[in-house]
């Protein structure tokens, strides 16, 4: 097995400057890295995901450069937006002029008050090599803090751009820390976008305190040449509500690893995902939902549309601990294959150590329904249009749940373009 240094993964960032307040968590992660190596297909969690192409690519730390984000601007977040390019804060593209009073939306490098919560969820103990790599060596990121009982009306948008300049592949380590105090509410869009051969290795930590509610859209539409690793760690306190949707459209290789702890009674979690894949793309989702206390509710729906020689991997694990009585947990993995060479590996899991629960899980892998195709053709649609309509429909119900209208339109149009469903443009 190869170490990070042997794979040329970010050795230069060891000497990057950081605020002193980060030092304890950085050192702990650095120590953990010393005993870790890049996983191989011999590891159970990576058995379908081969990192050979990553090992063979030499990356250098990305530098700040000017980018045009006009197409990425959300009207609902014109004055509540932070932008980072290759891990570096971009002041010209950022705008927090409409931020409500009391709400903090800052770059981490200037938010010393965030140090106490930083790394509290993505701890080195038990974290994988990519999470620890970010914790040890990231240089900046975004910090969002909503005080108790504050209801944030505008959408907050954090955009991480990965942009290759020149022939050398580049890497970045985005970081996001979100804290909602008791009774607060927030709609947040976390987006990754870029060009060229890049490596994005991000970590997001989310704390949802008692009675707070967070709606969190996570959008990945990086370059078809990119590598993307994303770790989400979230903790829900009593009666907290967290809705998270992850939409993966880009990257040659992507891996999403949400780890959600329902830490007190009355918590509600919705964890949805959609991966739209073609050519030789690979998208891997490994999720863990941890029910620790009674009366917790979780709903997980993960969908994948797989074409060409692409491959989708899903391993969703729901863990119900002793004493977490009256847990209600439902998990579904639904997958659509559009070509003979497309592959899906899906493994939903339940581990239950309480006797008064309502839990269920299921998985389905299939192709377009011949009867539905025949029905649409009998109504005057040609075969290609009927296939596109059904493919778009497979994703549409999940996209319809996104409350940010402009983002919802963007993603519908992106899915239409990928499925050649141009005749449906009027629906967007």
pLDDT digits (tens, 9 = 90+) for 304-343: 999 999 999 999 999 999 999 999 999 999 999 999 999 9
Cβ contacts of 390-394, under 8 Å, gap ≥ 24:
391/305, 391/336, 391/338, 391/419, 391/421, 392/416, 392/419, 392/421, 392/424, 394/303, 394/305, 394/334, 394/336
Weakest-pLDDT range from 123-132, 190-199, 275-284: 123-132
Q: List, for residues 6-18, the tens digit of each pLDDT value.
A: 555 554 454 455 6
Model confidence, pTM: 0.93
Provide, rounded to the nearest whole percent, the portion of the chain with pLDDT above 70.
Answer: 94
Question: What does the pLDDT average to over 60-74?
Answer: 92
Looking at residue 14, its pLDDT comes to 42
pLDDT category at 358 given cuts 50, 70, 90 is: very high
Taking only the tens place, the pLDDT of each residue in 151-161 is 999 999 999 99
Q: What tens digit of pLDDT does each residue of 235-247 get?
A: 999 999 999 999 9
Higher pLDDT, 387 or 142: 142
pLDDT tens digits for 374-428? 888 898 888 888 888 898 999 999 999 999 999 999 999 888 887 775 554 444 4
Banded model confidence at residue 3, pLDDT cuts 50, 70, 90: low
Domain ranges of the chain: 11-264, 371-428
- Percent of the chain's residues with pLDDT above 90: 74
Kindly report, residue by residue over 209-230, the tens digit of the pLDDT.
999 999 999 999 999 999 999 9
């Amino acid at each position: 097995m190869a170490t990070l240094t042997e794979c040329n993964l970010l050795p230069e960032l060891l000497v990057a400057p950081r605020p002193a307040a980060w030092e304890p968590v950085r050192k702990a992660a650095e120590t953990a890295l010393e005993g870790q190596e890049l996983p191989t297909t011999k590891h159970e969690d990576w058995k379908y995901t081969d990192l050979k192409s990553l090992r063979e690519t030499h990356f250098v730390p990305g530098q700040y450069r000017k980018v045009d984000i006009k197409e990425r601007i959300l009207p609902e977040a014109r004055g509540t937006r932070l932008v980072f390019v290759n891990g570096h804060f971009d002041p010209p593209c950022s705008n927090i002029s409409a931020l409500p009073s009391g709400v903090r939306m800052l770059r981490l490098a200037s938010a010393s008050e965030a140090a106490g919560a930083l790394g509290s969820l993505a701890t080195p103990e038990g974290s994988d090599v990519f999470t620890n790599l970010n914790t040890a060596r990231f240089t900046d990121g975004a910090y969002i803090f909503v005080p108790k009982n504050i209801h944030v009306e505008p959408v907050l948008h954090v955009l991480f751009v990965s942009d290759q300049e020149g022939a050398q592949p580049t890497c970045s380590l985005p970081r996001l820390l979100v804290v909602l105090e008791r009774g607060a509410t927030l709609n947040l869009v976390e987006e990754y976008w870029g060009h060229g051969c890049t490596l994005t290795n991000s970590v997001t930590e989310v704390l949802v305190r008692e009675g707070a509610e967070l709606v969190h859209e996570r959008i990945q539409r990086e370059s078809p040449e990119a590598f993307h690793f994303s770790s989400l760690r979230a903790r829900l306190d009593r009666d907290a509500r967290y809705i998270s949707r992850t939409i993966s459209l880009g990257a040659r290789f992507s891996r999403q690893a949400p780890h959600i702890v329902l830490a007190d009674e009355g918590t509600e979690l919705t964890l949805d995902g959609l991966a739209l894949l073609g050519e030789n793309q690979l998208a891997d989702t490994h999720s863990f939902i941890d029910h620790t206390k009674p009366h917790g509710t979780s709903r997980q729906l993960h969908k994948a549309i797989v074409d060409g020689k692409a491959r989708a991997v899903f391993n969703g694990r729901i863990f119900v601990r002793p004493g977490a009585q009256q847990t209600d947990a439902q998990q579904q993995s639904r997958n659509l294959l559009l070509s003979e060479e497309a592959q899906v590996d899906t493994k939903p899991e339940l581990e239950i150590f309480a006797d008064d629960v309502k839990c269920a899980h299921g998985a389905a892998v299939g192709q377009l329904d011949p009867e539905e195709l025949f029905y649409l053709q009998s109504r005057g649609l040609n075969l290609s249009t009927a296939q596109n309509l059904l493919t778009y429909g497979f994703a549409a119900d999940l996209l319809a749940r996104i409350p940010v209208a402009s983002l919802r339109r963007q993603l519908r149009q992106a899915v239409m373009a990928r499925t050649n469903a141009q005749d449906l443009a009027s629906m967007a």
